[in-house]
Structures are given as C-alpha cells and as structure tokens.
Amino acid sequence: MENQEGTQQPHLVLAHELFLLTHHDVQDIEKVRLKEEVLTAIKSDDMVPLYETLVAESLLEKDQGLLDSMRAKNEDELKNLDEKLVRVDWLACHDWAYDRGTPNGDSNTCTFDCSNGSKFYHPNVSTSMVIAHACICKKFKNCRVLGYSSDMVQFWLFYRIADAEENLGESEVREAHLAKSLFYIRIGDKDKALEQLKVTEGKTVAVGQRMDLVFYTLQLGFFYMDFDLISKSIDKAKNLFEEGGDWERKNRLKVYEGLYCLSARNFKKAADLFLDSISTFTTYELFPYDTFIFYTVLTSIISLDRVSLKQKVVDAPEILTVIGKIPHLSEFLNSLYDCQYKSFFSAFAGLTEQIKLDRYLHPHFRYYMREVRTVVYSQFLESYKSVTIEAMAKAFGVTVEFIDLELSRFIAAGKLHCKIDKVAGVLETNRPDAKNALYQATIKQGDFLLNRIQKLSRVIDL
C-alpha cells in the first residue's frame, strides 16, 4: 500500500468504485464502466480474496481461468518474496528421476529430513534442488511437505524467515516481514495482512516505523469500513505518540482521526481536526487535497459559529486557493455567510449529489441535510422577533407551503425556537435566555445532588 506523495492509495480508489457500483442512484451505463475498472484493478493486483467475495455477491461473473491465473501469480510472488527474505545457499543437485520409487512411494509427497546437511526434493519441481542449512535443520524433524502449492510456498517462507532471524540483523528481518505484510495487503487478504502486520510490529523498535504500521492498518480499516479496527488503531497510535514521534506523523494522524469522526457522524470533532491540519496536510494516500477541503467546509458549516466560520474557513487562504475548483462549494459557503439564502439553496441543491455519492458521507446524507437547514433557518430567524412566512419563503426562493412544512417539522423536533401563527401568517421567535437556562440547569442538578446526599446519609445511619 505504498504510494507516492500527492496520489491517493489505489485500494481506497477501488473501495470508492465498489461503493458506487452498489449505489442505486448510479446509472446502469456508469456501472458497466465501474465494473470494468474494478475488474482491471483486481487483475493488476491479483486480489483473489476480493474477487471471490464480489463473485459471491453477484457483482462480478466468475472466470475460473482468471481465478486460477491470479492464484498462480500470488504463489509466484510469495516465492519471489522468499528469495528476498534472506541469503541462503542453494546448491544445484543432479536431477532425480521421478518414479514411484520416491522416498515415500508417493508421487505427491516427500520427506524433508531435517538433519544437518539435509536434502529436499519434490517431484513436481522441474529441477531438483538441495537445501543445505544447519541452523534450520537443527530445529525441525521429519517435516512432510504436501504438494507444490501455496502451502509449499508458505513452508519456504517460514523457514527462510527463521534463518533470517538467526543470521541477519533486526532491520533485514523486519523488512522481510514487512514485505510479506504489504503483499497480503495488496491482494486484499485482510486477516493474513493484520496477522503479518502484528508479527512485523514485534520486529520493529523505532516509534516512527511502528506508527507507519498503524497507518497501514488504518488504511485497511477504511477500505473495509471496519470502525472497530479504526478506533483501536487510532487509540494505539495516540499511545505510541506518548513514547515519541515526529510532527509529520502526528499531523497525518489528525486527518485519519478526522475522517473516522466524519464517518462516525461526529462532525464537530472532525471539523476541529481538519482545520488543525489545513496548513500541514500531507495525507494524500487517503484523498486529494480538494476532497480534504470539501470535507472541511461541509463539517465546519454545521459546527462553527459565524465568527469562527469567518476566521477559520471563509477567509482561510488555504481554502480560498482550492474552493473554486469544487463545484458549488464556494457559493454554498459564501452565500450562507453573506445571508444570500436564495443562492444558498441553489448551491445546496447542487452539492446534494456529491454528498450522496460520497462513500463516507452517504450514510449521514439525511442527517447532514437536516443539520444544514437548521443552521440556515436559525441564522435567518436570529435577526427577527417576528417575520411573515411569506417574507421568509421569498428570501429562500421557495413556496409558502414548503417553508411552512419545513419549519413545523424543525419546531416539533426542538431544532428551532419559534412558533407559527397560522392565522396571521407570522413566525414569532422565542429564543431561550442563556443565563436563565444555566440557572435552571444549576437548580436541577443541585436538587439531584441533595437527594443523593440524603439517600447516602440514611445508609450511613443504618
């Protein structure tokens, strides 16, 4: 899952395409293109586990030839990784004639006699070979190898890593395990990838390198939208930072945590984390900078007051340089702050498709739409003690019936502090007094505390 600076991690691009492939609002002709792109990505990385999953879900048609080919490539890749793991002596040996007279009398098995200077031979290998390595052989006795398959490859990797642990330095051992971890990540084998990352962590001492392993785990979590894995990995990363860590990785973690908060509908915290990362953003593996600004503006609008929104978002130079590239976003932000409500609703309608088709925002689409409307209606009513429904409908460029229905829902839900005089066609605001509300809350909490003290005193008296 390594990436160049400025490019999104390919597997997260694939995850977004898979999301669109199952979205009911995406047209069928577009899904045909998406299916081709998904299949191309799977072929390029030989993602056998993901391919099997998509076939089982009827998103792709099964091609047994393709499946066998990818499996063969994976086994070859594991063998290539094995060659990079350690330096061992491979001694050429004369070709053994293959017949029914193999050591075990079985054409599909052979015995690996783990004595000093032992020999390994398997009838399915085109050229017979000898493994002579005392440090490996002294550990294991009479190991039987079954077939020249993925099990065979795993067998080789296991013993070669064991040799590396005895003969090479910590760095080489770690790199060998990391290469295997990245291989499992690339082919989409989540369970084996997490297992191998854990093994690699055990071979890693530096805090920065351990943090990099956490970032790999987080990317896996976002690919599969495994919130439990993401949450635990973020907590783990924070604990690692208590031991040390550079600012670049700390800033990257803020974006990862912000994306998690966004996905978990904690927009307030997401906005704070995103705003803290604007000037130091380097997390291109998650999404491009334009997308980052898109998320920052959307979360800030429903989380910040007008003064903070002006200082941190509307006038922020980092946002101003990018916001014009994102359709409707500049109008959406500025029309809200400038109280141009008709323009705001027009831009809002243009953004709905982008929000609906976003992998992280889609589950919160209806919630976000309500929160944005609450913010803009509250801002409009803040200027009036009373206002006619007709005047408000005209300001927003909608009908009286629409605004009446909208406001009645928000008033009933306790989102707006006003009441509708249907006869006079007037809205009357009744904004709560903050000091009075604090006084009432203090009285209520005081009564609760006194009751608890009285109950405790009775228990003590007994």
Q: pLDDT tens-digit profile of 335-374?
A: 999 999 999 999 999 999 999 999 999 999 999 999 999 9
pLDDT tens track for 198-242: 989 988 888 889 999 999 999 999 999 999 999 999 999 999 988
The rounded distance, in Å, linking the Cα atoms of 423 and 388 is 11
Other C-beta atoms within 10 Å of 374: how many? Answer: 15
Q: From CA 355, how far away is CA 351, in angstroms rounded?
A: 6
Q: What is the average pLDDT value for the chain, to the nearest integer? A: 81
Q: What angle do CA 170, 173, 174 make, to 5 degrees?
A: 85
Distance, in Å, from the CA atom of 459 to the CA atom of 462, rounded to the nearest integer, reads: 5
112: part of which helix (H) or strand (E)?
A: strand 109-112
Query: Rounded distance, CA 270 to CA 255, Å?
Result: 9
Position 6 pLDDT exceeds 50? yes
- What are the structure tokens assigned to 181, written together? 């971890």
Terminal Cα distance for the chain, rounded: 66
Q: Report the C-alpha gap between 95 and 171 in whole angstroms.
A: 37
Question: Are 233 and 217 contacting, i.e. CB atoms less than 8 angstroms apart?
Answer: yes
User: Is 67 a residue whose pLDDT tops 80?
Assistant: yes
Cα(451)–Cα(443) distance, integer angstroms: 12
Between the CA of residue 222 and those of 11, 215, 229, 264, 283, what are the distances in Å? 10, 10, 9, 12, 14
Among the listed residues 78, 352, 106, 98, the one whose alpha carbon sits nearest the alpha carbon of residue 196: 78
Residue 2 structure tokens: 């390594």
Residue 182 has pLDDT above 50, yes or no: yes
Taking the C-alpha atoms of residue 320 and residue 28, their distance in angstroms, rounded to an integer, is: 36
Residue 370, H or E segment: helix 365-381
pLDDT digits (tens, 9 = 90+) for 12-27: 999 999 999 999 989 9
pLDDT at residue 124 is higher than 70: no
DSSP 96: P
Of 160-164, 237-241, 377-381, 396-400, the one with minimum mean pLDDT is 160-164
Q: Which residue has the tokens 């071979």?
A: 203
Closest alpha carbon to 232 in 224, 242, 221? 221
Question: 86: helix, coil or strand?
Answer: coil
Q: How far does CA 192 lie from the centroid of its chain?
A: 18
The CA distance from 432 to 426, in Å, is: 19
3-class DSSP state of 429: strand
- DSSP assignment letter at 415: S
Tell me the whole-structure pTM to 2 decimals. 0.77
